[in-house]
A and B are shown apart, each in its own frame.
Chain A
């Protein structure tokens, strides 16, 4: 088990290096750097102006050197004041030191967000907390309802209940979030006025049923149909298994058969799907957060990408890798727990 965990962590580190290297390469393409320089200086800066800004802030140093500095295996060098010749802090709003230090990811320094004019960590942590909260509520509403629907429709295939629930799941899962979000906002926000169509207030005033329901419901509805379909298929297969007949002919009643014998076996397949939904949610929230103006990870990612905020984008990539691989890990371990035929040795 320990061995298994160590290997998984190794894989995670390797994936991080590969992905961040690619992202680092892309954000450092010349047009992207120019875009950054323009947004950081003035709109009508001349080419010399842009070039001098890039050189001064260290963007003209060797690519590998800057990547190594970001990781923390190479010192980050301060800017040199052209007039005094003395080292000065690179981004004063991030209070970067005016000396050459190792300050990379390994040291816990994720760099400086040029867009939000603050340390990446200071921007990311609240954003992640906000998104985590959103994802938590999405999962809490989505998963139990989806499993319940899936099991209900799968335990008696072809019944009226099954057909009704199937139609509902297909409709919800075939409606993209940007459609359902708009429709729900119009119905519950504009017409009925029960719910707030914007979650902007959630960041400052805290979440309430009024401002938070729509952002939660929108992705939940989409995933719900999907998981329900998967659970239904799995349940149908399990219900025709011979051990279900054994249980029935042991003298168990229908509901006892479902709860005691079918449930655990039927959950094995959807479990993996649910775990795969975490990474999906992380990117899925981009739409929801933008749509409802919710200050979370998705909104930060959009802003970072729109402004070529190098350090912020790299940090977002790291978060994604950790989330994807961590859910995979949980999925594997949980799978082994649900299915005794596979054991972590």
Chain B
């Protein structure tokens, strides 16, 4: 019989503060066989990273394993002394982290950081270490490996940095690789490349993997088995097909239901958020931790005693639920009732060949060279109508946030026009705009944690917004309006006196929404409104936004890189690349062929959490070019996989015109009509 690489049995981890013991992980078990990839899914605060660090025995000083065992390669990790531990770390168990930039030492060259691993664990010569590191840099498919070795981390892009971290982890040929949210900070296309790489390297080196992620789609693409965690416990575990195909825990089911699946939209199948909130670690309920949020909860059964993992369907598929047999797992969620689509109104925003260029000196501090131009937005034309949701998608650096800034008046356009309700706004800075205009164009920000002033109560911040917008005449009137706004975003009125630090991420984002809707805006610009939130919270905020928008007939510009969300929320989609709109059309048109080659690559990059869906592979090569020196001709030509279909080098020389393919659907591409017509759907 093959020995497992990692065997965790009934692991309990607690953090000890001066006052109390906070259990972070309880009764966690999991085994990983050689060459196997295990997925660990859960929302923030569920203890998944704590498990990872416990395996490496690198818990913070206040954290301690209170019971249970971790056996790695047949040895109990608890018995190892410091010297043995340092020997195992990096050579037998290696880790890849969430933020590659922060995980690399900013003052050491890549080469040094890589070869160091070999110097620590193997007595190798300098030349051999260098050769092996170089070999590994090539293996993670980085361009120009010699130059990479000489670079500092900040000279690399996020995706390249993560490849270096992976190379570093694999250098000593570890038996177990722990990946903690390795792609969370990266763009979808970059993420797809990293996932491809990890899968490939795992096969090639026979490394076992523990893949931690909150993204169910990624887990499905990379792992053989999966463990779902909730509030410090494993709630469901089993082979990936069984768990994804036949969910047997209400929490896992809730996760799936709160995620927009490709092919659904907000009208036909609204998301079902998980009600309530994650219990605080020291306030967990009796019995089932998920009980208070579970729609199948039965008093007296679920909250009586500690629940063990029980077999669910097969010997390998376990679930921590007493009612596995009693629940009808195939029933459709109760509140998933279809909505009537909203009627789209007249044009509200019209943007015509908008440009935004920045002049930057070669170096602010030591400058002296001539200034260069960053073409952040180059030739953007689109419109948005009343009550319509227009999504703007594209990788970081494509100009979508700059576009939002120009529309909000935080930046002034270099050329072109933008008219909002027949007024030209492209040259009005925010301090010159009328209060009416400011309150009618509002924004919801990406990070709810940074956008609330930590020293004022939530209510006073909303009242301040009302004052600024000249809404309401007396303090009492504004007080009432503020309370109504809290009702609107479904927060208890008692929250008015709370400070931002007392709120969870989702609640803060609700405050952000309340503030944006305070001035009864006609247009909302939502910049990645969900990306900082957990899946179940995302669903709730998404539903909130949809309902608010439906009732107030507000136009929404949704800036996002999450195509599932875009598909779900928007009526029309604009795909941007390097300051250009490369494709625009209704949501259905964008998600069906013919595609712009870039849209095709974006679609192929979405990790799907659906066992039935099949995806065509389109891997995007290279990096997004710098907006300081965009390529001549088509902006996408340096990475286009279909360029060979265009004759005469047209792509390299001429910027393609916007071609109308159907009513409302246009692409900026030279591809001949036959090629476009012959395209097959990416997802089927």
Q: A residues bordering B, Cβ < 8 Å?
A: 1, 3-4, 7, 241-243, 245-253, 256, 260-261, 264-265, 268, 332, 338-342, 344-345
- B106 A249 Cβ-Cβ under 8 A: no
- Say yes or no: A261 contacts B108, CB within 8 Å: yes
Residues of B within 8 A of A339 (CB): 106-107
Of A7, A246, A260, A341, which is in contact with the most chain B CB atoms at under 10 Å from its CB?
A246
Please indicate the chain A residues that have their CB under 8 angstroms from the CB of B366 in the complex. Answer: 1, 3-4, 344-345
Chain A residues whose C-beta falls within 8 Å of the C-beta of B365 in the assembled complex:
332, 342
In this assembly, does B394 line the interface, its C-beta being within 8 Å of a C-beta of chain A?
A: no
Residues of A within 8 A of B106 (CB): 243, 265, 339-341
Cβ of A252 and Cβ of B120 under 8 Å apart? yes
Q: Which of B88-96, B234-242, B273-281, B539-547 binds A?
A: B88-96
Question: Which 6 residue pairs of A and B lie closest in terms of their CB atoms, listed nearest first?
Answer: A251-B90, A250-B90, A242-B102, A251-B89, A3-B368, A243-B105
A341 / chain B contacts, CB cutoff of 8 Å: 106, 152, 154
> Chain B residues with Cβ under 8 A from A246's Cβ?
95, 97, 103-105, 165, 168
Residue B121, interface by CB 8 Å: yes
Verify B362–A243 contact, CB threshold 8 A.
Answer: no
Within 8 A of A (CB), among B71-111: 82, 86-91, 94-95, 97, 99, 102-108
CA distance A7 to B365 in the complex (A): 11
Given known pairs A250-B120, A251-B88, the reply for A264 and B107 (CB within 8 Å) is yes
Residue of B82, B95, B154 touching A249 (CB-CB under 8 A): B95
B58 within 8 A of A: yes
| A250 & B116 in contact (Cβ 8 Å cutoff) | yes
- In the complex, what distance in Å separates the CA atom of A218 from the CA atom of B345? 79
Chain B interface (Cβ < 8 Å from any Cβ of A): 56, 58, 82, 86-91, 94-95, 97, 99, 102-108, 116-117, 120-121, 152, 154, 165, 168, 362-363, 365-369
The reply to whether B107 and A249 contact each other, CB–CB distance below 8 Å, is no
Could you pull out 28 A-B pairs where Cβ atoms are within 8 angstroms?
A1-B366, A3-B368, A241-B102, A242-B97, A242-B99, A243-B102, A246-B95, A246-B97, A246-B103, A246-B105, A246-B168, A248-B89, A249-B58, A250-B117, A251-B87, A251-B117, A253-B86, A264-B107, A264-B108, A265-B105, A332-B365, A339-B107, A340-B106, A340-B107, A341-B106, A344-B366, A345-B366, A345-B369
Query: Taking each of B106, B121, B152, B367, which has the highest tally of chain A beta carbons within 10 Å of its own beta carbon?
Result: B106
* In the complex, chain B residues whose CB is within 8 Å of the CB of A248: 58, 89
Q: How far is the CA of A149 from the CA of B154 in the complex (A)?
A: 31
Contacting residues, chain A, for B369 (C-beta < 8 A): 345
**Which residue of B is nearest A267, CB measured?**
B107
- Give the residues in chain B near A260, CB-CB below 8 Å: 116
> Chain A contacts of B58 at CB under 8 A?
245, 248-249
| A339, B106: Cα distance in complex, Å | 8
Is B117 in contact with A345, judged by CB distance below 8 angstroms?
A: no
Bound-complex Cα distance A4 to B405 (A): 34
**How far apart are A159's CB and chain B's nearest CB, in angstroms?**
10
In the complex, A248→B90 CA distance in Å?
Answer: 9
Check if A251 sits within 8 Å of B121, measured CB to CB: yes
Contacts of B89 in A (CB 8 A): 248-251
Complex Cα distance, B152 from A28, in Å, reads 56
- Taking the closest CB of chain B, its distance from the CB of A281, in whole angstroms, is 26
User: Which residues of chain B have C-beta atoms less than 8 A from A253's C-beta?
Assistant: 82, 86
Q: Name the prevailing secondary structure of the B interface residues.
A: loop
Classify the secondary structure of A's interface with B.
helix
Which of B82, B108, B369 counts the most chain A CB atoms within 10 A? B108
- Residues of B close to A245: CB separation below 8 A: 58, 97, 103
Bound form: Cα–Cα A265–B102 in Å: 13
Distance in angstroms from A248 CB to nearest chain B CB is 6
Known: A4-B368, A245-B58, A340-B107. A251 touches B120 (CB 8 A): yes
Q: Which residues of B contact A247 (CB under 8 A)?
A: 105
Q: Which residues of B contact A332 (CB under 8 A)?
A: 365
A341 to B102, CA, bound (A): 13
- Give Cα A250 to B167, complex, Å: 12
> Shortest Cβ distance from B520 into chain A, in angstroms?
43
Shortest B171–chain A CB gap in Å is 9
Nearest B residue to A240 via CB reads B60
CA gap between A21 and B97 in the complex, in Å: 58
Inside 8 A of A338's CB, which chain B residues have their CB?
A: 107
Determine whether the beta carbon of B90 is less than 8 Å from that of A249.
yes
Q: Give, as a whole number of angstroms, the nearest-CB distance from A6 to chain B.
A: 9
Which of A250, A256, A340, A345 is the one whose CB lies under 8 Å from B154? Answer: A340
Give bound CA distance, A342 to B152, whole Å. Answer: 11
Q: Which residues of A contact B154 (CB under 8 A)?
A: 340-341
In contact, A242 and B103 (Cβ under 8 angstroms): yes
Q: Are B105 and A251 in contact (CB under 8 A)?
A: no
CA–CA, A252 and B86, complex, Å: 6
List 15 additional contacts besides A242-B103, A249-B95, A251-B88; criterion CB under 8 Å: A242-B97, A242-B102, A243-B104, A245-B58, A246-B97, A246-B165, A247-B105, A250-B90, A251-B90, A253-B82, A264-B108, A265-B107, A338-B107, A339-B106, A345-B362
CB distance from B267 to the nearest CB of A (A): 43
Min distance, Cβ B206 to any Cβ of chain A, angstroms: 21
Q: How far is the CB of B648 from chain A (nearest CB, A)?
A: 40
B87 neighbours in A (Cβ, 8 Å): 251
Residues of A within 8 A of B107 (CB): 264-265, 268, 338-340
Q: Shortest CB–CB separation between residue A294 and chain B, in angstroms?
A: 39
A162 → chain B closest CB, angstroms: 13
A268 to B108, CA, bound (A): 14
Q: List chain B residues, Cβ under 8 A from A7.
A: 368
Chain A hits for B121, CB < 8 A: 251
Query: Shortest CB–CB separation between residue B212 and chain A, in angstroms?
Result: 14
Q: Cα distance A265–B168 when bound, in Å?
A: 20
CB-based nearest B residue for A243: B105
A249 to B180 alpha-carbon distance, docked (Å): 13
The residue in B91, B94, B116, B152 that gathers the most chain A C-beta atoms within 10 A of its C-beta is: B116
Among A242, A249, A345: residue with most chain B CB under 10 A: A249
Q: Which residues of B contact A241 (CB under 8 A)?
A: 102
Query: Within the assembled complex, what's the spacing in Å between the Cα atoms of A313 and B86?
Result: 62
Say whether B152 contacts A340, CB under 8 Å.
yes
Q: Which of A250, A261, A342 contacts B168 (CB 8 A)?
A: A250
CB nearest to B88 among chain A residues = A251
Note all chain A residues with C-beta closer than 8 A to B116: 250, 252, 260
Residues of A within 8 A of B88 (CB): 251
Residue of A nearest to B154 (CB): A341
Contacts of B152 in A (CB 8 A): 340-341
Taking the nearest CB of chain B, how far is it from the CB of A290, in angstroms?
40
The CA of A268 and the CA of B89, in the complex, are separated in Å by 29
Residues in chain B near residue A250, CB distance under 8 A? 89-90, 94, 116-117, 120, 168
Least CB separation from B99: chain A residue: A242
- Set of chain A residues within 8 Å of B120, measured between Cβ atoms: 250-252, 256
Residues of B within 8 A of A249 (CB): 56, 58, 89-90, 94-95
A251 x B86 contact (CB < 8 A):
yes
User: In whole angstroms, what is the CA distance A345 to B366 when docked?
Assistant: 6
- Distance in angstroms from A338 CB to nearest chain B CB is 7
Complex interface: chain A residues within 8 A of B367 (CB): 345
- The smallest C-beta distance from B537 to any residue of chain A, in angstroms, reads 25
For B89, give the chain A residue with the smallest CB separation: A251
Query: How near does chain A come to B79, taking the closest CB pair, in angstroms?
Result: 18
Bound Cα distance from A340 to B105, whole angstroms: 11
> Which chain A residues lie closer than 8 Å to B103 at the CB level?
242-243, 245-246
With both beta carbons as reference points, the residue of chain B lying nearest to A342 in the complex is identified as B365
Contacts of B102 in A (CB 8 A): 241-243
| Shortest distance between the CB of B579 and any CB in chain A (Å) | 26
In Å, the complex CA distance between A345 and B154 comes to 16
- Minimum Cβ distance to chain A for residue B466 (Å): 40
